[in-house]
Chain A
Amino acid sequence: MSRYKVPSASWLPKLVVAPSFLLSFFFIYGLIAWNGYLSLSASHMLPNYDYVGFSNYIDLFDNDRFHVALKNMLIFGVLFIGGAMALGLLLAILLDQKIRAEGVLRTVYLYPMAISFIVTGTAWKWILNPGLGIEHLVQSWGFPNFQFDWLVDDQHAIYCVVIAGIWQASGFVMALFLAGLRGIDESIIKAAQIDGASLPRIYWRIVVPSLRPVFFSTLMVVSHLSIKSFDLVVALTSGGPGYSTDLPATFMYAMSFSRGQVAMGAASATIMLCMVAAIVVPYLYSELRTKK
């Protein structure tokens, strides 16, 4: 795109964006550096700027609770990303079959994305509660021995977070894939149909491969969402029983704002930043390069 050579005005656009850009860069990069410094400091109850080197990171990786958070991150990450991607792709393909009520169904599949994770968590907490929820419902259907107490079981509570997370996010994945499916050239599919290719074959050979770019951007979005997951855990399990459903984000919050371990909180935030950056930076880099 061309630049306009209007001497009198050339400084004006720069001046206009300068305040918000300076603030934003300070907010993003300045505060990342500040948080990084806090993670190397002797802060406990309050920030304290005495430098202590990497000892907070050593403490962090020795911390039992952080191990639990990382392990949960892995379980939750794999199942949530896998589940939401698979279900979302399936929904998009189903909706792409020239359905009459597509608009209504799409609205139904996507509405969870419009509500807060706190609402989702509150609702699922009631549905999954062992006393009067699903367990009680299935027992009343004539299975008196049915047990479903994952929400209060420290070995299984994290799977409840996965279920609610997939429920909330799969419509989002569907919307992204549906946008991708609509971008595929109809004439290629018509040609394959005329050649006698079956529907599954058309999907496997033509549609799915051309969804590759959408697949990667969706994967990137869903993965960074999973790393940032916080509200859902707080509302559904409060990190419990005990700290069995802690994720890095809830760990960071607990250390920084209720346990008086500011430096360790800052260190765990830096670890989260590294995880997100490992996913997002290569993606942004390739996106911005190819678009030039």
Chain B
Amino acid sequence: MSPRALTWHRVILWTALILFAIWFLTPLYVMVVTSLKDMDQIRGGSLLSLPSSINFGSWAKAWDQACTGTDCGGLKPFFMNSVAMVVPAVAISTTIGCINGYVLSKWRFRGSEVMFAMLLFGVFMPMQVVLLPMSQILGYFGIASSIVGLIVMHVLAGIPSTTLFFRNYYVGLPDELVKAAMLDGAGFWRILWRVVLPLSTPILVVTLIWQFTNIWNDFLYGVVFSGADSKPITVGLNNLANTTSSVKEYNVDMAAALIAALPTLFVYVVAGKYFVRGLTAGAVKG
């Protein structure tokens, strides 16, 4: 290839790359500028125009005054519900996945591979098939419409993927490590604690981020299993944006959407590498 052709090739390549970057960034840009305008600027200006003055009023309104249905307490209570739900749900599902993965890779027993395969279906199945029975079960135990019920649901739904993550990672750890520890007289828990866990930081981070992102962003369980005072942020945002009672305030909607997106976006920007590993691990089984 001549240098001249190479240059042309690079120009086209970069044009395409930048156009795609604009296509992906435009909605975020529109959300940010809309959230900083007042309604007059929104009606007077265009989708892409910059706000004439920076105004955080709609952020404040989205946080604790905007109406979601009949309540007008903003997104704050929903945000707090999500925090109260996501912390235990992530911690429990990750712990169980870690122990399961450890057994399925380093302490295999007859039938453990079949059990793993059967568990894998849980990663993919449409959760619609469990919604109706689950609402009966949660009702039976008196935790329907509560944060505890949502935590139980997220833990059960999360175990297949967390088990998959840890199992696939631990398969790659040399068995000799476990054998050597065993010769030194270490048992099941001691090996996990002293040998395997210290080597688990990357997969631990991947799983924590994956579970956090999924549970924070979940809407289906949130809308089915929550009651008046246990709705997560996604349900709050949807109620806020779909309230048709008064004049549509797009700036408040956009501020609310950004508030709901910020925690996971923050984690993504800080630890994107681990997030991508979680995404690709979900697709590459074995």
Contacts and interface: CB of A to CB of B under 8 A. Distances in A.
B247 interface: no
A20 B159 contact: yes
A63 B107 CA distance: 51
> Could you say which of A30, A47, A109, A119 has the most chain B C-beta atoms within 10 Å of its C-beta?
A119
B260 A116 contact: yes
A210 interface: no
B241 A235 contact: yes
A29 B107 CA distance: 25
Contacts of A194: none
Interface string A133-151: 1101100100000000000
A119 B187 contact: no
Nearest to A285: B117
A127 B276 CA distance: 28
Contact of A272 (B24, B128, B218): B128
Interface in A244-277: 248-249, 252-253, 256-257, 262, 265-266, 268-270, 272-273, 275-277
Interface string B96-112: 10011001110111000
Interface in B79-110: 96, 99-100, 103-105, 107-109
B261 A109 contact: no
A24 B125 contact: no
Contacts of B99: 16-17, 20
A35 B103 contact: no
> Could you say which of A4, A117, A125, A136 has the most chain B C-beta atoms within 10 Å of its C-beta?
A4
Contacts of A117: 217, 219
Interface in B164-205: 171, 175, 178-179, 182, 187-188
Contacts of A120: 27
Contacts, number: 277
Interface in B254-286: 254, 256-258, 260-261, 264-265, 267-269, 272, 275-276, 279-280, 282-286
A137 B49 CA distance: 10
Contact of A116 (B128, B219, B253): B219
B107 A4 contact: yes
Contacts of A61: none
A172 to B, nearest CB: 6
A118 B29 CA distance: 17
A34 interface: yes
B285 A253 contact: no
A38 B132 contact: yes
B115 interface: yes
B253 A126 contact: yes
Contact of B156 (A10, A24, A47, A97): A24
A114 B212 CA distance: 10
B55 interface: no
A23 B109 CA distance: 19
Contact of A291 (B109, B133, B275, B286): B286
Nearest to A37: B133
B264 A115 contact: yes
B34 interface: yes
Contact of A25 (B23, B46, B118, B179): B118
Nearest to B124: A280
B228 interface: no
A16 to B, nearest CB: 6
A70 interface: no
Contact of A125 (B127, B220, B241, B279): B241
Given A105-B17, A110-B276, A234 B125 contact: no
Interface of B: 1, 9, 13, 16-17, 20-21, 23-25, 27-28, 30-31, 34, 42-43, 46-48, 96, 99-100, 103-105, 107-109, 113, 115, 117-122, 124-134, 136, 156-157, 159-160, 171, 175, 178-179, 182, 187-188, 213, 216-220, 223-224, 234, 237-238, 241-242, 250, 253-254, 256-258, 260-261, 264-265, 267-269, 272, 275-276, 279-280, 282-286
Sorted nearest first, the 4 A-B pairs with minimum C-beta distance are A114-B268, A116-B217, A13-B107, A34-B133
Given A28-B130, A105-B21, 11 more contacts: A9-B187, A14-B109, A20-B99, A31-B133, A32-B129, A111-B269, A122-B257, A228-B126, A234-B219, A252-B128, A284-B124
Interface of A: 1-4, 6, 9-10, 12-14, 16-17, 20-21, 23-25, 27-32, 34-35, 38, 47, 91, 94-95, 97, 99, 105-127, 132-134, 136-137, 140, 167, 171-172, 175-176, 179, 199, 217-218, 220-221, 224, 227-228, 230-231, 234-235, 238, 248-249, 252-253, 256-257, 262, 265-266, 268-270, 272-273, 275-277, 280-281, 284, 287-288, 291
13 contacts: A27-B122, A35-B133, A112-B24, A115-B265, A116-B234, A118-B237, A119-B258, A132-B42, A132-B250, A217-B283, A266-B132, A273-B129, A288-B285
